[in-house]
Amino acid sequence: MRYLVKQKLFCLGDDFAIKDEQGTERYTVDGKAFTLLRQKLAFLDAKKNEVAFIREKLVALTPSYEILRDGKVAAVVKKDFINVFRLGFTVDVPGPDDLEATGSLLEHEYTFRRAGRVVAEVSKRWFSFTDTYGVEVAQGEDDVLILASTVVIDMIAHPDEKAAPKPNP
């Protein structure tokens, strides 16, 4: 399935609209629910039902976010410890099905792999004005998990002024 993930302009927090290849809005991400200590985002379906919740982890060596479903941690997305120009993230899911997202930070292109097999591709190549990505998810994969991970990677790799304010230590 192909999706268009577009960050909304002129909003507080990180808000995204996610449409399918026919242009139908399938999901929204509401970044208005945040605290001063960490970012929190609601991942909503087209009927505005929460299908996932994203929250920043407070204690981590590298930027990390939890993706929750039904109140349980479905995955932890964390940036690789040392990567200068190569975009590298781990999507740690319970059990043996972890995902690795790797690609080019400068080109805004990356793939999700599980056990070496490509399960999704993300590309910003054709979109330049705003944070907009094309995401193609392989059949049988968890679209919500991959789309939520894409939103997290965008927030970590491309922080901007709209993100929740961080307190000074």
For residue 15, give Cα distances in angstroms to 31, 58, 69, 80, 107.
Answer: 5, 21, 19, 25, 22
Give per-residue pLDDT as tens, 88-110: 899 999 988 899 999 886 667 89
Give per-residue pLDDT as tens, 12-24: 556 889 999 899 9
pTM here is 0.85
Q: 62 or 117, which is more confident?
A: 117
How many angstroms separate the CA atoms of 60 and 123, rounded? 28
All structural domains of the chain: 2-157 (2.40.160.200)
Question: With pLDDT > 70 as the criterion, what percentage of the chain qualifies?
Answer: 76
- Which alpha helices (DSSP H) does 27-142 contain, by range? none
